[in-house]
Amino acid sequence: MSMPQPITLGQTRLGPSVFLAPMAGITDLPFRRAVARHGGAGLMVSEMVASTEMVTPRPSNRAAVRAKALTEGALPVSVQIAGREAAAMAETARIVAGMGARIVDINMGCPAKKVTGGLSGAALMRDLDHALSLIDAVVAAVPDLPVTLKMRLGWDEDCLNAAELAARATDAGVRMLTVHGRTRAQFYTGQADWSRIRQVANLPGRPPLVANGDVVDAASARMALSRSGAEAVMVGRGAQGAPWKLAQIAHKLWATPAPAIPEGAALSDAISEHYEDILSFYGNDLGLRVARKHLGWYAEANGAPNRAELMRAASAQATLAAIRAGFGAAAGAA
Ligand SMILES: Cc1cc2nc3c(=O)[nH]c(=O)nc-3n(C[C@H](O)[C@H](O)[C@H](O)COP(=O)(O)O)c2cc1C
């Protein structure tokens, strides 16, 4: 199978066609920087920005800090927005465009109750007229930026309407579509069904398409592309504890430069750098908590023998020592 050509959106060339998925609480600036240090990705999508959070008269400090970081870094960052009111979505799109977003992505894929309960995220797939009113408002609000859309296959087995939403979004001016090969009802259970994304791939005149769900290595990426007919893949959980995973997949599929896969001392250095970045970005208290989940994933993905110690460490110093002991020891470096 010949590999699809890189996608260009506006002025931005998204090469290679392996993209980092938006993951709230995970794909923050320190994680995106870690991905960038390890070979990068064709596109990184920010954590979701709730429109309600952005358009309040006095956003909380934390929201402001998080928002400022959305577009930082020399990366082709797409900022994802979520919400259910056209005016607030349009205003949020204008705000993130003013902050330097190169692409605005609309979230119609998130299954979380907190989001769907507010009738945004995947819940919008139950009411396509309403979904389209949001898309129209966002496209009109940022005429100079490409607007993209992320969705699931549908709400449930009785409502598999990704192709209908994709067709209407295409007519409304959406410039790239990402489809996670599960319904909302499935949450994250079972296996993503990439072949069901093909109904979107077959739409005449559609924009570039990205397949998402359970892509974890080069073999699954290749299979996702061939089954779905998409031009690119998006990787979320597969990059947890392995920020080099995207570059690794790109190298195998598109012959881009191979990232160094850190081992031993290089691995403990890479994890320590990510860890210190988290602490300086969030401050010590919140940073220690945010870092813990990443350390758990690093331990899982790289087989650190001292996972419990890593999780328990109460100070930055103790954690850095545990990182050196757990990840550096394999190569005899401490
Ligand atoms: C913790 C977590 C947070 C997520 N947050 C978002 C989000 O903010 N916006 C979004 O569109 N999808 C979000 N997703 C969904 C992912 O972008 C992706 O569609 C899904 O995880 C399937 O891809 P994967 O199997 O490669 O992880 C999230 C997923 C996880 C696990």
What does the mean pLDDT of the chain come to?
90
Atom of ligand 1 nearest to the CA of 182: 22
23 known ligand binder: yes
Name the residue at shortest CA distance from atom 30 of ligand 1.
23
Inform me whether the pLDDT recorded for 57 exceeds 70: no
Name the residue at shortest CA distance from atom 19 of ligand 1.
180
Question: 22 CA to middle of ligand 1, Å?
Answer: 6
**Mutational test site, ligand 1, from 107, 110, 235, max ligand atoms within 8 Å of CB:** 110
For 149-187, write each residue's pLDDT tens digit: 999 999 999 999 999 999 999 999 999 999 999 999 899
Question: 61 CA to middle of ligand 1, Å?
Answer: 25
Predicted confidence at residue 334, as pLDDT, reads 35
Predicted confidence at residue 64, as pLDDT, reads 57
Predicted confidence at residue 165, as pLDDT, reads 97
On whether the CB atoms of residues 241 and 301 are closer than 8 A, the answer is: yes
Question: 46 CA to middle of ligand 1, Å?
Answer: 11
Token pair recorded at residue 132: 């389209």
Predicted confidence at residue 74, as pLDDT, reads 47
For 109-138, write each residue's pLDDT tens digit: 887 777 766 777 888 999 999 999 999 999
Inform me whether the pLDDT recorded for 260 exceeds 60: yes
Q: Which residues line ligand 1 (CB under 6 A)?
A: 21-24, 26, 47-48, 80, 107, 109-110, 150, 180, 212-215, 235-238
Name the residue at shortest CA distance from atom 15 of ligand 1.
23
Name the residue at shortest CA distance from atom 13 of ligand 1.
23
Active-site annotation holds for 159: no
Q: What is the mean pLDDT of residues 310-332?
A: 85
Inform me whether the pLDDT recorded for 333 exceeds 50: no
The region of weakest confidence among 203-212, 227-236, 282-291 is 282-291
For 1-46, write each residue's pLDDT tens digit: 688 889 999 888 998 999 999 998 899 889 999 999 999 999 999 8
Question: 332 CA to middle of ligand 1, Å?
Answer: 36
Q: Which fold has domain 12-254?
A: TIM Barrel (3.20.20)
From the list 18, 103, 110, 139, the catalytic residue is 110
24 known ligand binder: yes
Name the residue ranges covered by the structural domains of the chain: 12-254, 264-329
Predicted confidence at residue 99, as pLDDT, reads 84
